[in-house]
Each structure stands twice: as C-alpha cells, then as structure tokens.
Amino acid sequence: MIYLRREVMEMIECQNVSVMYNNEVEALKKVSLTIMGPTITGIIGPNGSGKSTLLKAILGMTRSTGKISINGVSSKKMLKKIAYVAQKNLIDLSFPITVRECVALGTLPNLGLFKSVRKEDWRRVERALEVIGLRKEQERQIGALSGGQFQRVLIARCLVQDADYLFLDEPFVGIDMVSENIIIKILKDLKKRGKTILIVHHDLSKVEDYFDQLVMLNNKIIAVGATSNVFNMQNLKRAYGENIFIDRSE
C-alpha cells in the first residue's frame, strides 16, 4: 500500500461576504478573498473601511452573508483554532488579576467553563511569558503595566491558546518601536512554526517589511495577494484617495 503524505495547506476563504450594520452601513460589500498560510497577512485600508468587520465576520462575531470557510470547513466550526486580540480590548485594567493569571485565561477555550488551569497549562503560561519577555513582571497587576507591556500580555495569551490562526486588530497602536519589533519577531517565528496570522494595520511604512500578503479594503476589495503585487500607488490611491503619502524614512 502506498501512503501519500497530504500536505495541509492552511487556507481562509471568503466568497461574496457582505456585512450590513443597522440596515444602513454597508461595511463589507461582496468581499471575496483567499488567504493561504502559513503567512503573515496585513489588512489595510482607511478608517471605516471594514478591516475590523472582516475579522469579526470570519470569527462569526458579526452577521454576514456569503460564505466563509477555513480549510474548507465553515469558520464557525474552527473558532477554537483562532486566537483573537480585538482592536480596543475590553479587559478592565482595574480588574485585580496578575499578568500571569491574565495570560492563563488563554488556556480557557481548551478547558471549558469552571475547570481550573492545569499544571501543564501553567508551564505553557511560563513559556509564553518568557517568549514575550515579561517573566519578571508576571506577578504584577495588569493595571500596573505600560500600554506596550499590556499589548504583549495579550499576545502571550494568544500563544498559550495554541491556536493555528492569530487575528490581531491593530496590535501596535500606542506602543513603541522596541515593543513593536519584539512582537513582530515573535509573529515571524510563529509563522515559521506553521501559524497563519492576520493583522489589521495602519502604518503603511512597515507594510513591505511585515507582510507576505495584503488585503487592501475600502468596504470592497481593492486588491488582495502577495504584498509585492498589491502594494503600489495605483491601489493605494484607490483605497485611500489621491492625497496619500507614505513616509518610508526611519
């Protein structure tokens, strides 16, 4: 008997996905795209162009029409495999938990409600804190962290979830270049380990360094594909308007 090794190609597919809020705002109009993984894909477009909505539609957090699948399976059945950091995090920073406990919350999707964190999960928490460079701060209250440190805690929480897909909505907002560089390095390592990562991003100067693929949105798809094919002035003007200016100087 011959066994054929099946190469599993990660793939997120949207076909004619539309989202309408309150019967008046058409946030996404017939969006069709295929994202192959493992890759880091950037989702870019002006404010209000539907970037966050696209992630929420794939996560089933907002009602959409059309078809969304991951590796051929309805995305709603794949939710456990997706880790998500929302654009404005709803975690109450005055809530009295430590960094270590906050990261451990990432293990809960695998545990189910009312189960406590297992010993091996605590080991995963320790490793994630090490990777993200916050081991020293692990007993601190989350409210006593800087914005960048807290963003790293949220990424660590994704790491312990051990998901195959990471969806990050503007993870670099309000953090300095040092934290941003630490996070992007971690994400590139995760890609090498087979993860498929979607990042909503607004700093156009870094797009070519960070992303293998791009989804350019303006409520409809402007362009999608390899960054080198998509990231050009013609597409940028269609997404952002004629007055776009990109500062690539450092």
Ligand X SMILES: Nc1ncnc2c1ncn2[C@@H]1O[C@H](COP(=O)(O)OP(=O)(O)OP(=O)(O)O)[C@@H](O)[C@H]1O
- Min dist. Cβ of residue 78 to ligand X (A): 21
- Min dist. Cβ of residue 59 to ligand X (A): 12
Q: Closer CB to ligand X, residue 19 or residue 160? A: 19
Which of 52, 75, 149, 161 binds Mg ion (CB under 5 A)? It is 52
The residues, ordered by sequence, that sit 6+ positions from 236 with a Cβ below 8 Å of its Cβ are: 204, 216, 244, 246
Q: How far apart are the first and last CA of the chain?
A: 58
Q: Which residues bind ligand X (CB under 6 A)?
A: 21-22, 25, 27, 45, 47-53, 87
Q: Closer CB to Mg ion, residue 134 or residue 216? A: 216
Residue 21 interface partner, choices ligand X, Mg ion, none, CB cut-off 5-8 Å depending on type: ligand X
Q: Closer CB to Mg ion, residue 43 or residue 70? A: 43
Cis omega (within 30 of 0) for bond into 46? no
**What one-character-per-residue DSSP string does 49-115 give?**
SSHHHHHHHHTTSS--EEEEEETTEEGGGGGGGEEEE-SS----TTS--BHHHHHHGGGHHHH-TTP
- Annotate each residue in 182-201 with x if it binds Mg ion (CB under 5 A) or - if it does not, as one string: --------------------
Distance CA 147, CA 90 (A): 14
Part of the chain binding Mg ion (CB under 5 A), chosen from 66-74, 85-93, 130-138, 213-221? 85-93
Residues of this chain that bind Mg ion (CB under 5 A): 51-52, 87
